[in-house]
Amino acid sequence: MSIFVDEKNKVLVQGATGHQGVFHIGEMLNFGTKVVAGVTPGKGGQDVHGVPVFDSVREAVDETGADTSLVLVPARFAKDAVFEALDAGVKTVVVITENIPFHDAMEFVHYAKYKGALLIGPNCPGIASPGKTKIGILPGNIFKVGNVGVASRSGTLTYEIVNSLSEKGIGQSTCVGLGGDPIIGTTFIEALDAFEKDKDTKAVVLVGEIGGTAEEDAAEYIKEYISKPVFAFIAGRTAPPGKRMGHAGAIIARGKGTAESKIKAFEKADVKLARFPTDIADLIEKYV
């Protein structure tokens, strides 16, 4: 099994005909993802790697039965795109786009909740269940089928960690990039809950960073509800307060969001912490 997505997801790509869209539709098809449609207003009737392109999400859903959307459209059009997908009945929306205004994200996160849909991102690399599907821009060659679940607020750092797991022969059930923005649709808590219920996940890796209290919230949840071993890496131990460290969400503001506080919270929840990102694999070997 896996969490959130598997080989059954029928994926449409919003922003299919741009440079990113064309490239990643190809990459996803290579991975085995069922990409059934593309959507770019005004480009209906074209195709990308043989995948038909439609003018609207509704047409794409009606014609192909797509139930999942990957959003690659530019930031200022992202809110409209996500609303369009949710209104057309899409049940899983993965938003890759970076620099979406926070208030827009807040609105579509709540609309997704109202519609009972799963929203991942924004500003995330997407999600992959190795051997089944990859919905996003994660490199396809780093994964290995297995039993470790990964949830992360960062992109490249996750690739680094997943790659080091795979090199040691430790495969993954699902790797989900949650996103580097302050307002995101799916948090560590929802991912932990899903990994706990997934019988093929034996251990969970969380990749956190400074900013907000997502890790502290997760630590409380772990104490209460998670029986599987959890490992973590926190980026930004040396980040100064008040500076936005690349990700919109990575900022220590008003004394909140320090790495120290997150590390303490995780230690209290018996989460094993890695000093360096590549140490996660050693820790898992040692404990699982």
Q: Is 18 in the site for other proteins (CB under 8 A)?
A: no
Q: Is 107 in the site for other proteins (CB under 8 A)?
A: yes
Of 53-61, 126-134, 222-230, 274-282: span binding other proteins (CB under 8 A): 274-282
Pairing state of beta strands 272-273 and 230-235?
parallel
The count of residues interacting with other proteins (CB under 8 A) is 66
For residues 43 and 246, give the distance between their C-alpha atoms in angstroms, rounded to a whole number. 34
User: Where do the H-state alpha helices sit in 170-225?
Assistant: 188-197, 214-225
The residue among 24 and 34 lying less far from other proteins, judged by its C-beta, is 24
The residue among 55 and 279 lying less far from other proteins, judged by its C-beta, is 279
**Site for other proteins (CB under 8 A): which residue of 110, 197, 223, 268?**
110
Closest CA to 131 of 120, 149, 152, 146: 146
Q: Is 215 in the site for other proteins (CB under 8 A)?
A: no
Q: Build a one-symbol-per-residue string for 39-68: x at contacts with other proteins by CB under 8 A, - elsewhere.
A: ------------------------------
What sign for the dihedral angle of Cα 261, 259, 195, 199?
negative
Say how many residues make up the chain. Answer: 288
- Tokens representing 48 are 């990308």
DSSP label of 149:
E
Q: Build a one-symbol-per-residue string for 148-167: x at contacts with other proteins by CB under 8 A, - elsewhere.
A: ----xxxxxxxxx--x----
Phi and psi angles of residue 140, each rounded to the nearest 5 degrees, phi first: -75, -20
Q: Examine the residue annotation and report whether 247 is marked as an active-site residue of this protein.
A: yes
- Tokens representing 166 are 């795979």
- Tokens representing 140 are 């396809």
| Stretch 77-96 residues interacting with other proteins (CB under 8 A) | none
Task: Identify any residues that bridge with 146 across adjacent strands, giving them in sequence order.
Answer: none
Question: Whole-number minimum distance, CB 268 to other proteins, in Å?
Answer: 18
Tokens 């205004």 belong to: 101
**Site for other proteins (CB under 8 A): which residue of 49, 89, 91, 111?**
111
For residue 244, which amino acid is it? R
Q: Is 27 in the site for other proteins (CB under 8 A)?
A: yes
The residue among 54 and 83 lying less far from other proteins, judged by its C-beta, is 83
Helix (H) or strand (E) holding 207: strand 203-209
Binding site for other proteins (CB under 8 A): 27, 75-76, 99-107, 109-111, 114, 137-139, 141-142, 152-160, 163, 180, 182-184, 187, 207, 209-214, 217, 233, 235-240, 242-250, 254-255, 275-278
Positions annotated as catalytic residues are 247
